Amino acid sequence: MSNTERTFIAVKPDGVQRGIFPEVLRRFSQKGFKLVAIKLTYAKEELLKEHYADLTSKPFFPSLLSYMTSGPVLATVWEGKDVVKQGRALLGATNPLQSAPGTIRGDFALDMGRNIIHGSDSVENANKEIALWFKKEELVDYKAEMYGWIYE
């Protein structure tokens, strides 16, 4: 299993405004994942239509768009073993009411339309989303000094 798998994790506007973003960074970092890119940014509607391409016909799509453009988003990229699947586990279920305590949504959210965080759901989508949100030069190359203590 590759240690260089990458995922796209974004703290949504409510997670930024409520000050939950440090908790997200702490959880991914302490699990052993390496932060590769980070920026606070407003998501444009065109970007969101690509990002959520599979959801544009859903009845909740207009409210999802206004939610995601209601404030800045903290966009991040993380790298490490099985990070896409492990990242989804750290997030919890889409519906916070079905997210176990101990997960980010389970600990900090109640409504689907205010579920504070996004995480890629497959390696393929992760690569698509990373390319959508970040320029190549924004992905920072460095040696993670912790790796000797994380990987066997």
Binding footprint of ligand GDP on the chain (CB under 6 A): 55, 60, 63-64, 94, 112-113, 115, 118, 121
**Bridge-based pairing state of the strands 34-41 and 6-11:** unpaired
The closest residue (CB) to ligand GDP is: 94
Binding range to Mg ion, per CB under 5 A, among 4-12, 39-47, 119-127, 133-141: 119-127
Residues 120 to 149 in contact with Mg ion, rule: CB under 5 A: 121
For residues 140 and 150, is the Cβ–Cβ distance under 8 A?
Answer: no
Minimum CB distance to ligand GDP, residue 94 (Å):
3
The residue annotated as part of the active site, out of 118, 119, 120, 134, is 118
Give the SS3 label for residue 49. Answer: helix
51 is catalytic: no
Q: Which does 115 bind (CB under 5 to 8 A by kind): ligand GDP, Mg ion, none?
A: ligand GDP
Q: Which of 76, 84, 75 is nearest to 5 (CA)?
A: 84
Rounded to whole angstroms, the Cα distance separating 147 from 152 reads: 9
Size of residue set near Mg ion by CB under 5 A: 1
- Stated as kind and residue range, the H or E segment containing 35 is strand 34-41
| Binding site residues, Mg ion, CB under 5 A | 121
